[in-house]
Amino acid sequence: MKISVLGPAGSYSEKAALFFFSKVLEKEADNEMVYFSDIESTVLSLWEKTGPDFAVIPLENSIEGAVGISMDLLNEKEACIATEIILRIDHCLLSLSDSMDEITAVYSHPQGIYQCRPFLRGRLKNARIIETESTSKAALLASKDFHAAAIASADAGKRYGLNVLESGIGSQKNNRTRFVLIYKKQDSQSGFQPDFQSFSPSDCLSNPVFKYVSENEFKKDETGHLYLKTSVISYLKNDKPGALYHILGAFFKNDINLTRIESRPSKKELGDYCFYIDFEGSTSDEHVSKAVEEAKSHSDRLKILGTYGRLAE
């Protein structure tokens, strides 16, 4: 199996993919990780001729919130979510040097920088902050400059021969990022931007992840059943009073617990948004398909990203 991730080696995205590999039923000798320099190329690789089976992308962080580019690509491209992977993020300050006094520049991914904002302001206020495409790229760059440091994982530090000047530098001890494993929508799947007529409740069963990972590996609910979530994106073209109220009402009426709602600009004009809604339940549950049908009737476009389980560290 081939998985695309944000590289170079040592990124948190790689960690999420390795965690997924560790859960795969039959360890295939040819399991392969392919590295890309940014999140967009990682996602687009799914459409290459000899593309991967899956791509792993970060979607949201407990401190910094949504990863915008990942959210947008889920809307723009015909990809489905196979599973979510929640990882603990423990950022370290890494450098060739062994003293913070030597540091004049700090490299990291924007998410890493924001997640460590109080530390940077408090302890490295005079250092230049330089954004990189990934935390592992930051570690790689810091390994070439004695006066630079990187914010990345301890594992990335080991890989690039850096000292850990300080660990646990995130602004929240319980820092977590939610990644999703995504795949290219298959032509046979109708659960994508469906006409409700063609929306088949069994679509979630075509989620290919269950071919690779035993159901036992996924989070269970209080009754011992598989904990499944569904993600949709609703676009309301006509801004009218109560539009969002009616969409959310569809879930409330069907007793469905929402786990996240987030808006993103539609990119059409200022003040025009898409709403990303995650909720508990599977599209094969009757009350979920009823709610989705109703939400769709109040939306100008409703895109189903998939029903999936959770792998958590």
In the bound state with ligand PRE, the residue whose beta carbon lies nearer, of 58 and 306, is 58
In the bound state with ligand PRE, the residue whose beta carbon lies nearer, of 175 and 299, is 175
Q: Smallest distance from the beta carbon of 79 to ligand PRE, in angstroms? A: 17
In the bound state with ligand PRE, the residue whose beta carbon lies nearer, of 134 and 234, is 134
**Both structure tokens of 141:** 């760059």
In the bound state with ligand PRE, the residue whose beta carbon lies nearer, of 12 and 308, is 12
Cβ–Cβ < 8 Å for 35, 15: no
Q: Which of 295, 218, 209, 264 is nearest to 59 (CA)?
A: 264
Burial of 110 (0-12, 13-18, 19+ CB in 10 A): middle
Single-letter residue type at 34: V
Q: How far apart are CA 42 and CA 50, in angstroms?
A: 13
In the bound state with ligand PRE, the residue whose beta carbon lies nearer, of 136 and 254, is 136
- The secondary element (H helix, E strand) that includes residue 139 is helix 135-142
Residues that bind ligand PRE (CB under 6 A): 6, 11-13, 58, 61, 67, 89, 109, 111-112, 134-136, 177
Q: Smallest distance from the beta carbon of 98 to ligand PRE, in angstroms? A: 24
What are the distances in angstroms from CA 215 to CA 7, 53, 154, 222, 312?
Answer: 29, 19, 31, 16, 13
Q: Smallest distance from the beta carbon of 147 to ligand PRE, in angstroms? A: 22
Q: Smallest distance from the beta carbon of 161 to ligand PRE, in angstroms? A: 18
In the bound state with ligand PRE, the residue whose beta carbon lies nearer, of 150 and 277, is 150
Single-letter residue type at 151: I
Single-letter residue type at 244: L
Q: Smallest distance from the beta carbon of 48 to ligand PRE, in angstroms? A: 21
∠ CA 161-98-153, nearest 5°, is: 50
Q: Smallest distance from the beta carbon of 40 to ligand PRE, in angstroms? A: 12
Single-letter residue type at 170: G
In the bound state with ligand PRE, the residue whose beta carbon lies nearer, of 4 and 135, is 135
Q: Smallest distance from the beta carbon of 61 to ligand PRE, in angstroms? A: 5
What are the distances in angstroms from CA 279 to CA 69, 153, 211?
Answer: 21, 31, 24
